[in-house]
Amino acid sequence: MDIRGGVTIVTGSATGVGAAAAKLLASKGCNVVINYTKSEAEAKETQAECEALGVQTLLCQADVSKDADCRRMVAETMAKWGRVDALLNNAGTTQFVNHANLEGLDADDFQRIYAVNVIGPFQMTRAVTPHMKAAGRGAVVNVSSVAGVMGVGSSIAYTASKGALNTMTLSLARALGPEIRVNTICPGFIQGRWLRGGMGDAAYEAAVAGQERSTPLQRAGTPEDMAQAAVFFIDGTDHITGEFLIVDAGAHLGGAPLRAR
């Protein structure tokens, strides 16, 4: 898919992987929707950086766990450009709880995480589907996690949500073809405030060193690494759907324990 002049909605794009993906898309000439829930100032910074690359943007506050917000974001996109070529479902949430601490989570924790990490991508995909079908093409990329493949990560609730997102990717890829491709990237460790805040400074720095020491590529992942993989599924191929791409410097091959995004 040639995305120059096209439009991509990137959920959760104020910071991290979403911001990196929005800027990468902008560098390729793609107009972008910058979505945020609470981080308005950072979203505006991302918007300014994208516009400096010569594209148009739309800033949209919306909570993807709310269907009305999802439909409004897509409606505003269509009102501005009359098209939506790709959707990057990046918005996510978690709670950091050791997997052995079964009392550290309750049903509300699972439901809150599931609402953002699974129901959100479903609602966003549902909202863009009529427009992509009418155009005869479209790409949906979900940002999952190696947690959903290997049962690791910030909490069991998070891991379960990403496993569900992976399974939903398969269902949607079957249901929405041939016009719409649906794929998923599964990041491993990603440097940034998400993990630093959840792990604490000492554990975070130790994890970065561990990634650099133990992974086959001897490096800790960055938001830009993940953005490259996500954008590949938008503009790098027209013949892949229903696929998961693990992006973790080879950590899943074995070595030190993984801490997923």
Structure tokens given for 16: 């991290």
Say whether the peptide bond before residue 178 is cis (omega within 30 degrees of 0): yes
Structure tokens given for 147: 């947690």
Indicate the range of 108-117, 139-148, 213-222, 237-246 predicted with least confidence. 213-222
pLDDT in tens, 203-233: 878 878 888 898 999 998 899 999 999 999 9
pLDDT in tens, 82-135: 999 999 999 999 999 999 999 999 999 999 999 999 999 999 999 999 999 999
- Check residue 260 and give its pLDDT: 45
- Check residue 226 and give its pLDDT: 95
Average pLDDT over residues 188-198: 77
- Check residue 246 and give its pLDDT: 97
Q: Look up tokens 């599964």; give the residue.
A: 186
Structural domains of the chain in order of their starting residue, each with its CATH number = 7-192+226-246 (3.40.50.720)
Task: Write the single-letter amino acid at 167.
Answer: T
- Check residue 197 and give its pLDDT: 76
Q: Which residues have CB under 8 Å from 61's CB, separation 6+?
A: 35, 36, 37, 40, 43
Q: Is 158 a known active-site residue?
A: yes
CB distance 232 to 159 below 8 Å? no
DSSP state of 221: B
- Check residue 127 and give its pLDDT: 98
CB distance 100 to 21 below 8 Å? no
- Check residue 258 and give its pLDDT: 47
Average pLDDT over residues 198-205: 80
Which DSSP string do the residues of 58-90 spell out, in sequence order? Answer: EEEE--TTSHHHHHHHHHHHHHHHS---EEEE-
Q: Which residues have CB under 8 Å from 135's CB, separation 6+?
A: 83, 85, 179
Per annotation, catalytic residue among 36, 114, 158, 204: 158
Helix (H) / strand (E) element for 259: namely none
pLDDT in tens, 30-80: 999 999 999 999 999 999 999 999 999 999 999 999 999 999 999 999 999
Structure tokens given for 250: 């080879």
Residue 198's pLDDT band (cuts 50, 70, 90):
confident
Q: How far are the Cα atoms of 1, 72, 170, 246 from residue 67, in angstroms, in the given order?
A: 28, 9, 22, 29
Model confidence at 255: pLDDT above 70? no
The separation between CA 219 and the C-alpha centre of its own chain, rounded to angstroms, equals 21
Provide the whole-model pTM: 0.93
